[in-house]
Amino acid sequence: MEKEKMSTNFFLNTQLTALIEKGFSCIESHPCHHLESGIREAIYLALGAHHDPIAHKRRRLLAQQAINKVAPLWYTTWPQDTLLMPLLDRFIRYKERRVVEKNEFLYTQLDEDWERMSAFADNTWIQDPLHRKHRFAESMVGLTVVLATELVLFDSFVTSEESFLPQKDEEIDLMENELHFYAAFAYAGGPPFPMHYFGTGSPEKYKDYWTWWLQEALPYAWKEGMNK
């Protein structure tokens, strides 16, 4: 494993390499093998400055990989549902355009998409608190896609070089986190900490997700972000 990590990350800069190594230590020590918000934010900042074109492309590529990883969970759970497809279409359409005019409509559309997917998640929780049928965790895929679209348009989540998120996700309101938290939540089948009537997600799946994120998704985003 160590040899494989080194061969994968040889082209990364020193700062990001050190953060990835720290990330592996974090997921090993966490009870659910979760990568906490503090280290994720540090990694986001290490990808480059806010609105820097190369850095923004890297963050877009990272978001795209997260969607690819977890979107199938939605359709496995709700194979006949059509709620997610328009969101995926918008994400792809905006991602492929080099310049998107920022206007009030985009802000309104994002707000409406967030409210729609938040309501879906809430109703899933209310209808089936034991998530035996509606699977609350998989509803986090919708939140992932909405926030990925916001990132494509506005390079959101990174606003300055100063930390603005708590170091641990348990200190953040569930509906005020960022897209990679929701993607991992969906993939692992539950939160990385006890929450109301839910048990935690699978530690094995959390470890699998964050290992993939650190070892494959991040290096890919870093390298491909430099390509035109």
Does pLDDT of 207 surpass 90?
A: yes
| pTM flag (> 0.75) | yes
Q: What is the pLDDT of residues 156-180, one digit of tens each?
A: 765 444 445 568 999 999 889 999 9
- Find the range with the poorest average confidence among 11-15, 112-116, 178-182: 11-15
pLDDT score for 204: 98
pLDDT digits (tens, 9 = 90+) for 52-105: 889 999 999 999 999 999 999 999 988 888 999 999 999 998 887 755 566 678
- Reported as a pLDDT band with limits 50, 70 and 90, residue 134 is low
Farthest CA pair distance, the chain: 49
Average pLDDT across the chain, whole number: 86
185 within 8 A of 73, measured Cβ to Cβ: no
End-to-end CA distance of the chain: 31
What band does 123 get if pLDDT is binned at 50, 70 and 90? confident
Q: What is the pLDDT of residues 13-65, one digit of tens each?
A: 899 999 999 999 999 999 999 999 999 999 998 999 887 889 999 999 999 99
**Torsion-angle region of 134 (φ positive above 0: left; ψ -120 to 50: alpha; else: beta):** alpha
Q: How far is CA 26 from CA 79, 104, 168, 195, in A?
A: 35, 40, 11, 21
pLDDT score of 223 more than 70? yes
